[in-house]
Amino acid sequence: MSRIRLGMVGGGRDAFIGAVHRIAARLDDRFELVAGCFASTAEKSKASGADLGLADDRVYGDFTEMAKREGRLKAGIEAVAIVTPNHLHFPAAREFLKRGIHVICDKPLTSTLADARKLVRASERSGAVFVLTHNYTGYPMVRQARAMVADGAVGAIRVVQVEYPQDWLTTALEDTGQKQAGWRTDPARSGAGGSTGDIGTHAFNLARFVTGLELDSLAADLQTFVPGRRVDDNAHVLLRFKDGARGMLWSSQVAPGNENGLRVRVYGAVGGLEWAQEDPNRLWFTPFGEATRVLTRAGPGASEAAARVSRIPAGHPEGYLEAFATIYTEAADAISAQRDGSSTGLALLPGVQDGLEGVAFVDACVRSSKKNGAWVSLAL
């Protein structure tokens, strides 16, 4: 099938996540990058476009100009990847949705809850496919865990523990001029949440994705350990789910010794599961009263859910880029299905509603912590 014509907003020179998106989009050969607005100035954007070999007239200095022109072109972009700091997600996505262009957006959805609600309405009016890149849901063994929970392998869920510790902001890195640290600790660009918005939303989404549980309320204790920092850099959150299950979430960017320690544990009436992002090809399964079993991505016991998003034989590890590519490939399936008049392709993709829930999670954490850890519900 023909490749989907892709544009990109953000992700120019020296931007880590832009390169990740471009690799993920091409890994399964479903997209072709043809246009972009890669930086906040026309000069930087043009330089980045030249680096990528794009035609000069398809590289823009302003995302609104890009949306307008690409929307008019006969062979204009069909989808756009938005990989900017959080505060630009809403205005950029809105411009492309207006023109019926499909959106693949980094998380969190927006920097404010008000903008998240507006973007949900804009997405619904547009009818275009909207995908949020909660890329950790693309790992084969995360899909395996989700399938096992749904099939009753652990029984009725009692406890969910999810954590995402990092250490890269243990010191005031933002004061050194480091670009990523600068905007991620600036509430005007990142939103009110620091670790909660940057990585806590991933942890919360992963817990929801694997278990299918709906949150009833949460109680949060947010900390800012680095002097002068304006957003949280550590969070402990208690979770109450609607069916009676209980959970704990820890997100931290000031935990020395942790690089990218996303981990989820699910304990039910008859068994438990554990998965860690830094060892992604294994899932630990313990039926109550039996020895722990280690399930591998392509080994005995792997389900169709895992096999469907695996690309290479057993013993060859698949990792972060492949999981990210799974999101892009499923986005391509959804876009192609809509183009062909089919209704398939959206089942497991994180979308705009997941994004709203993530921003509402951050908002609830901030509100709860300000009330000394009071129990609050998501303001959806």
pLDDT at 47: 97
The pLDDT > 90 percentage for the chain reads 93
CA dist., res. 250 & res. 61, Å (int): 39
pLDDT at 342: 72
pLDDT at 339: 85
Which of the listed residues 128, 162, 181 is the one where a domain comes to its end? 128
Tell me if the bond preceding 313 is cis, omega within 30° of 0: no
**Average model confidence (pLDDT) for the chain?**
96
Asked whether residue 148 falls in the same domain as residue 116, the answer is: no
pLDDT at 1: 65
Q: Is residue 379 part of a domain?
A: no
- Phi and psi of 312, rounded to 5°? -130, 165
Domain total in the chain: 2
Asked whether residue 116 falls in the same domain as residue 153, the answer is: no
Give 44-76 as a DSSP string.
Answer: HHHHHHHHTT--GGGB-S-HHHHHHHHHHSTT-
Asked whether residue 49 falls in the same domain as residue 116, the answer is: yes
Asked whether residue 203 falls in the same domain as residue 278, the answer is: yes
Q: Is residue 339 part of a domain?
A: no
Q: What's the whole-number mean pLDDT along residues 121-149?
A: 97
CATH code, 86: 3.40.50.720
- Which of the pair, 270 or 299, is modelled with greater confidence? 270
pLDDT for 189 beyond 90: yes
Angle between helices 201-211 and 352-370 (to 10 degrees): 120
pLDDT for 293 beyond 60: yes
Range of the domain at 102: 4-128
CATH code, 250: 3.30.360.10
Q: Is residue 321 part of a domain?
A: no
Residues 6+ apart with CB under 8 A from 316: none
pLDDT at 344: 60
pLDDT for 343 beyond 70: no
pLDDT tens per residue, range 224-280? 999 999 999 999 999 999 999 999 999 999 999 999 999 999 999 999 999 999 999
Q: Of 14, 48, 83, 67, nearest to 328 (Cα)? A: 83
Asked whether residue 297 falls in the same domain as residue 160, the answer is: yes
Asked whether residue 161 falls in the same domain as residue 199, the answer is: yes
Beta bridge partners of 238: 219, 248
The pLDDT > 70 percentage for the chain reads 98
Asked whether residue 100 falls in the same domain as residue 204, the answer is: no
Beta bridge partners of 169: none
Asked whether residue 13 falls in the same domain as residue 145, the answer is: no
pLDDT at 101: 98
Q: Is residue 98 part of a domain?
A: yes
Confidence class for position 56, pLDDT limits 50, 70, 90:
very high
Q: Are strands 79-82 and 102-105 parallel, antiparallel or unpaired?
A: parallel
Q: Is residue 154 part of a domain?
A: yes
CA dist., res. 345 & res. 322, Å (int): 18
Confidence class for position 340, pLDDT limits 50, 70, 90:
confident
Which of the listed residues 128, 152, 171 is the one where a domain comes to its end? 128
pLDDT tens per residue, range 210-228? 999 999 999 999 999 999 9
Asked whether residue 144 falls in the same domain as residue 288, the answer is: yes
pLDDT for 345 beyond 60: no
